[in-house]
Amino acid sequence: MRWYTRRRSRTVCLSLVVASLSLHLLLTVLSRSVYQNHCDAPSPRQTHLHTLRALVDTNYTSRMSDNHASYAKTPPGTRKVNSSHMDSNGPQKMSEKDAVTTKMAVKVGHGHKAEGPVDSLTMTERVGKFGSMGIKPMGSGMSKLEALFSHPLYNMPTPPIHEDDWLLKVKPKGKARETSTQMWVSDSDIGDDSAHWNRSSDSHPPWLRFHLGISRWQLYPHLDPNMAPLAQQLSTHRIVSAVQKSGGTQLKLVMSFPNYGQAILKPMKQERDEETNFNLYYFSDFERHNAEIAAFHLDRVLGYRRIPPAVGRLVDVVTEIKDITTDHKLARTFFTSPVNNVCFYGQCSYYCSTEHAVCGRPQNLEASLAMMLPDTSLATRRSWRSPWKRSYSRSKLAVWEKDPDYCDTVKKTPPYNKGTRLVDLIDMTILDFLMGNMDRHHYETFDKFGNNTFLLHLDNGRAFGRHSTDEPSILTPLEQCCRIRRSTLLHLRLLSLPQYRLSDVMRDSLSHDPLFSVAPLLSELHLSALDRRLVTVLQTVSRCQERQRSRHGEGDDDVIYDDVTDYETLVKHVTPAG
């Protein structure tokens, strides 16, 4: 009986094993058949064609206004933060590098810790990715920023640049004798970083290629291959000199490199998630290092390219400033804080005192380094007072704040009465509103190009001060003049679409900055504010168009400055045959 029971149990176990193996084999066959039936990704032409037609549609604003309004009303804390990597089939996916990113405490000084993402990329690798944005085929894990920059709207054919449209040029051989490369060797220690270059553009350092690439229409071209080596220089190259920059209201330093390049340094004054004190007037606000960096990225995302490249860097206060400075006034302001952090404060109109000193942690200091423009002895610049300059008074209002028809006067005043100067200023207004910059009292242009050129968007340190509130008065030029470039409007509409959302592409773009390894340059609240303010700009343009139609019937010629007359031709060009 016992033998019979043992035999029967063996039979049952063998049957279970056979059944299990059969089921496993069946599941394997089914899963292979499912994985082999992949979905075909839409071609880039079809994807861009759909977007182009949506942007050209004259009813775009009215059809999308409900979506904009619902998004604007959503509390920032409830909005889902998308990764900036977009799969061609639709779902958002994180890359492998993002998946392994971890958050850890970073020691920044005696008694100080800062929470921030530290990813697997070294600083050199990160700056190597900066600016290049190599465009990958659709369906290969393209990020939203790469998808944006590969969009036809950012790659429209441009007219050739004539010789007189370049700001600087190398003298031909007939006008200057060939200079030996040894004459360009830096006066600093001979060795690494020495400058060996001649008339050939291949030998030029990144800062010189940047200067020689400035044209009548922009500071640098779209997808400029020089951006990566330029960012590399700003963030990693040896600093040989540091002196305080004269003028201005707050502390700024001029940093020099062995290859004769120079950059403007603005030190960290405020934590990223800290808002400007509401009791401070706009002219008393701090200048923020991350605002300079974020402004450069936003300017590039909008397609302007009118802000000099700015990169974040961890600067050693002792070895890269104190020990090498020849500025005796600056050197006298260094001291050691009670917690052994090295500090200095310089000399300036605001916040240059021991109470507002800039301190390393204990020696490392976050800062922005912005590429300097060509010296004024080579390329003079003209400073223009903004017609919408604020009063910079605690009690008085400017004329434009009291007169709703103020723009009618501006339109009759040179240089705003002809050419593109007025819409150029509106472009700058939109940029300032998106980043909350109330400190735009002047702007500059290159003298060589007269009035037919772009505006330089300089000094953006007081931007990104508040994310919880918007300042509608910054948009007054657009509200009063009701004039905007068609290309600008199309860019804004594109950035309002989910697949190119402004906050997502800005998050992606800023992630390539070296300081991202310490902490994101903009908090999520500031990124959400960008989307909210973009809705406000589009709604303002919509009101202008409705006002125009109510006065003159159909058409918006008085609102839209048409600088993309071949846009519909471009749409036909990308339409698939048949």
Q: How many residues does the chain have?
A: 578
Phi–psi pair at 114, nearest 5 degrees: -130, 130
The rounded distance, in Å, linking the Cα atoms of 130 and 251 is 27
- Contact, 503 vs 527, CB < 8 A? yes
Query: Which residue has tokens 């994985």?
Result: 35
Burial class (CB in 10 A: 0-12, 13-18, 19+), 560: buried
Pairing of strands 112-118, 262-267: unpaired
- 156 annotated as ligand-binding: no
- 372 annotated as ligand-binding: yes
Q: What is the CA radius of gyration of the chain?
A: 28
Pairing of strands 484-485, 560-561: parallel
- 459 annotated as ligand-binding: yes
Burial class (CB in 10 A: 0-12, 13-18, 19+), 512: buried
- 370 annotated as ligand-binding: yes
- 114 annotated as ligand-binding: no
- 471 annotated as ligand-binding: no
- Contact, 291 vs 439, CB < 8 A? no
Directed axis angle between helix 486-495 and helix 60-73, to 10°? 50
In this structure, how many other beta carbons lie within 10 angstroms of the beta carbon of residue 82?
15
Give the torsion through C-alpha atoms of 211, 214, 220, 225, to 10 deg. -50
Instruction: List the one residue out of 445, 294, 426 whose CA is nearest residue 384.
Output: 445
Q: What amino acid is encoded at 239 in this protein?
A: I
- Contact, 65 vs 542, CB < 8 A? yes
Give yes or no: 439 in active site.
yes
CB-based contacts of 186: which residues, under 8 Å, 6+ apart?
193, 194, 195, 240, 258, 259, 260
- 266 annotated as ligand-binding: yes
Set 327, 439, 531, 556: catalytic member: 439
| Cα 548 from chain centre | 33
The rounded distance, in Å, linking the Cα atoms of 507 and 514 is 14
| Cα 244 from chain centre | 26
Pairing of strands 364-371, 310-316: antiparallel
Cis peptide before 229 (omega within 30 of 0): no
DSSP string, 355-422: GG-EE-SSSEEEEEEEEPPPPTTTS-EEEEE-TT-----SS---HHHH-TTHHHHHHTSTTTTSTTHH
CA dist 165 → 168, 208, 226, 449 (Å): 9, 17, 20, 8
- Tell me the binding residues for Mn(2+): 287, 459
> Which residues participate in the annotated binding site?
250, 266, 287, 370-373, 444, 459
Active-site amino acid positions: 439
Q: Residues annotated as binding site for ATP?
A: 250, 266, 287, 370-373, 444, 459
